[in-house]
Amino acid sequence: MIFLAIFGILMLILSAFYLVNSWQQYGQWKWATFLVIISLAMTVVGGYGMYENHQNEANNKTTSQTAAKTSTSAISLSGAANQMNANQETKENAILGQLQKAYGKLGTVGFDSQSKTYQIKPASGDEAKALQAVLDDNSQANQIGWPKLTKSLDETSSQLQKILGDGYSLSLIQPNSDQPMYTAKDGQETYSAVK
């Protein structure tokens, strides 16, 4: 896209000079105006393409950083819960606090005690846009860092099993929805909306 933008700018400059020359020398302007419009369109399309590439790279970087941060924080979950000699409810609340810190950049974390599920709801930001892009087009999953994120969720789910016992799930909720996008239970994937 950068080549299209550069070529469009060069063509725009040359066609502008051609338009001025054609108007002054020959009194004709139609062909030269057509060239100016075409070169302007090329410049706009190339510039917009560069902007889109920049936005995609920024989303990829943000999602990858979130996944890396959360995978390292999953290890700290075991330390927090092992220090506590308390009942199951106290452990669940302690884990909820740790998950809120670990996944706070991605969104809010809640706990449904009925289904024993910790739910991560993405905030409306770059992360939510990247997740929605994966839902809309599964072919972008690798580019956005989906495998790293799901691996992190699996590792965190495995830590939950070690600390709290069997039967606890960790779900990533779809942006602007209450439906799960990815769920891991006892360290294994149980559901994924991304194929």
Compute the average pLDDT of residues 59-71: 60
Q: What is the pLDDT of residue 68?
A: 55
Residue ranges of alpha helices (H) inside the chain are: 2-25, 30-82, 88-102, 126-136, 141-144, 146-164
Give residue 138's Cα distance to chain centre. 12
Q: How is residue 115 written in tokens?
A: 């289904």
Q: What are phi and psi of 157, to 5 degrees?
A: -65, -40
Whether residue 67 contacts residue 148, with contact meaning beta carbons closer than 8 Å, is answered with yes
pTM: 0.57
Q: 85 pLDDT band (50/70/90 cuts)? A: very low
The per-residue pLDDT for range 132-152, each reduced to its tens digit, is: 888 888 887 888 788 888 888
Whether residue 182 contacts residue 172, with contact meaning beta carbons closer than 8 Å, is answered with yes
Q: What is the pLDDT of residue 84?
A: 46
Q: What is the pLDDT of residue 77?
A: 55
